[in-house]
Structure 1
Amino acid sequence: MRVLVTGATGVLGSAVLPALREAGVAVRATSRKPRPDTGSGIDWITADLTTGAGVAEAVAEVDAVVHLAAAPYKGKYTDRVEIDGTRLLTEAAARAGVSHLLYTSIVGTDRVPWGYFQSKVRGEEVVRDAPLPWSILRATQFHAFVDRAFTMMAKLGVLITDPGIAAQPVAVGDVAERIRDRIERGPSGSVENFGGPEVLAFDEAARQWLEVRGTRRPVLRLTLPGTLGAAFRGGHLTTDAQPTGTVSWQQYLVAKYR
């Protein structure tokens, strides 16, 4: 099997490439800039989803596409990648006879009124309407994303949390393995949720972060206002779907900081 991975230089892409290679998959990966041959066994190809340059060549003679390319929180450019780029990719893949396109999204993206989440919803719509077999995998927030949020708050001298908001951090490696499994099993034609092994109140996640790091900061508990806060407190960032990842939030913290 030959699989194309878009967004291969990103956080998730960097975990998906070795996961596929370890399964014996021939991997082609896209980058917007030329990359030297490092002897990794990855077939790098230059392609740009916003212009279409190199996309037809990228999808040629591949069996499946893992579509990870994204540009969150970059204004209009976000939609150029997430919506227009996804449409361009699916059309090229269909013409090339690709038998499976897997698109990654976010748990709760259709329930939380947040700008980037709405872009992901529209990206999902493009995939569902595409003329080729597909799967959509929604993941909860990566450990590193939650870690980075607390790190930024700590620089202000306080961690601000809404105890009514629950988080379900997931390891990037666990998501990569789930993607590999889905590619091996073929297209589902459905949306699958995938989360970490535990659901934590956000203030408990903050307490563990402080404890493992040996950092002292006050935790200010506030209720996030408006419809966004209500959506977060509605549990839409978590899932009861099985299976789950295996690496807990505390295990991630201990491995990184101790």
Structure 2
Amino acid sequence: MTTILVTGGTGTLGRLVTERLRADGHEVRVLSRHTQPYAVDLREGGPELDAAVAGVDTIVHCATTPRGDDEQAAVNLIAAARQAGVAHLLYISIVGVDQVPFGYYKTKLAVEKRLAGSGLGWTVLRATQFHDLLVQLFQGLAKVPVMVLPAGVSDQPVEVAEVADRLAELAAGAPAGRVDDMAGPEVRTFESLARAFLKASGRRCAVVNVPLWGAAYRGFRAGGHLAPERAVGKGTFEDYLATRIRR
């Protein structure tokens, strides 16, 4: 079996990827900012990153931050991977990064382009939003009596465990470039998802749809972040709520 480094290996996705790879018999190193022995800040790189990458066959790059530092982190990781002779760098991206001009998406697309031009063997899997991200959003919006949602926007959430399974499968294989997107089983309006959350959590809150403005909103409203033709996920939002949300 191979030696695999999982960046962001303590996060929502990375933790599950790590579990699956170890269950399959791979030697797995977990890299995060605070987890020894591979405690590394990818934004800074340095000898700690070189040590984490040395002797690794494959890197599964799950680490991310909404603060816009992902591209610099990728630059450092790619440089370390080149130096160490890593054969395969696998990256999890987001459906619609080339369709929706949203700041975080632009950064994810920039990382994809860095990988494609790196000279390394690479694979990119784009997935739609995870269920837990929507729950976090709705929990924040439900703190006031009126939940305000972007009018005309839908989503297609996917179960994170299913994405972890797919990443583990890809990590065990050869570099494949950009593979088919992975999306949840249903395209749902934001309102229907929000009402499902409110029902499952027993919260009482009015729901109001409000038109927004800007290119990013237009991109979301046009469905650039959706992949109905790739609705390969099985777990629905209600399935997730039934197991994770307490009234």
Q: TM-score surpassing 0.5? A: yes
The answer as to 2:30 corresponding to 1:29 is yes
Which residue, 229, 236, 240 being the options, matches 1:248? 236
Aligned partner of 2:115: which letter? Answer: V
Output the TM-score relative to the length of structure 1: 0.89
1:11-51, CA deviations, whole angstroms, 9 ceiling, x for partnerless residues? 1111111011112111011122353xxxxxxxx42323222
Identify if the C-alpha distance between structure 1 residues 211 and 225 changes in structure 2 by more than 3 Å, giving closer, same or farther: same
CA deviation after TM superposition for structure 1 residue 256, in Å:
1.3
Aligned partner of 2:62 in structure 1 is: 68
Deviation at 1:223, TM superposition (A): 2.0
- Counterpart amino acid of residue 131 in structure 1: G
Q: CA deviation at 1:240?
A: 3.0
The count of residues paired between Structure 1 and Structure 2 equals: 244
Counterpart-to-counterpart distance in 2, 1:71 and 1:34: 17
For 1:49, which of 35, 38, 42 is the aligned residue? 42
Counterpart of 1:249, as a letter, is F
Return the match for 1:187 from 160, 175, 178.
175
The equivalent of 2:80 in structure 1 is 92
**For the structure 1 residues 243 and 167, does the alpha-carbon distance in structure 2 shift closer, same or farther, using more than 3 Å as the test?**
closer
Q: Which amino acid is 2:11 matched to?
A: G
- Alignment-derived partner of residue 41 in structure 1: none
Give the direction of change, closer, same or farther, for the CA distance of 1:229–1:32 in structure 2 (3 Å limit).
Answer: closer
Q: Residues of 1 paired with 2:4 and 2:231: CA distance?
A: 24
SS of the aligned residue for 1:194 comes to: coil
Equivalents in 1 of 2:197, 2:209: separation in Å? 15
- Determine if the alignment matches structure 1 residue 58 to structure 2 residue 46: no
Answer whether contact 2:6 2:31 (CA < 8 A) is retained: yes
Q: Hey, what's the Cα distance between the residues in 1 that align with 2:137 and 2:236?
A: 17
Q: Matches of residues 57-206 of structure 1 in structure 2 within 5 Å?
A: 57-72=51-66, 74=67, 78-79=68-69, 82-206=70-194
52 and 8 in structure 1: CA distance in 2 versus 1, 3 angstrom threshold? same
3-state SS of paired residue (2:145): coil
CA contact (8 A) 1:194 1:241 kept: no
| CA 1:62–1:243: 2 relative to 1, 3 Å | farther
One-letter code of the match for 2:23?
Answer: E
Q: CA deviation at 1:243?
A: 6.3
Given that residues 166 and 237 in structure 1 are in contact (C-alpha distance below 8 angstroms), is that contact kept between their aligned partners in structure 2? no
Deviations 1:59-88 (A, max 9, x none): 11111000111121x2xxx32xx1122112
Root-mean-square deviation (CA), in Å? 1.6
SS in 1 for 2:180: strand
Q: Secondary structure at the match of 2:38?
A: strand
Contact 2:49 2:80 in 1 (8 A): yes
Q: Tell me the residue number matched to 1:7.
A: 8
Q: Counterparts of 1:212 and 1:85 in 2: how far apart (Å)?
A: 38
Identity, % of aligned positions: 39
> SS state of the match for residue 106, structure 2?
helix
Letter in 2 for 1:206: A
Q: Distance in 2 between matches of 1:187 and 1:89?
A: 17
Alignment partners' CA distance in 2, 1:241 and 1:61: 39
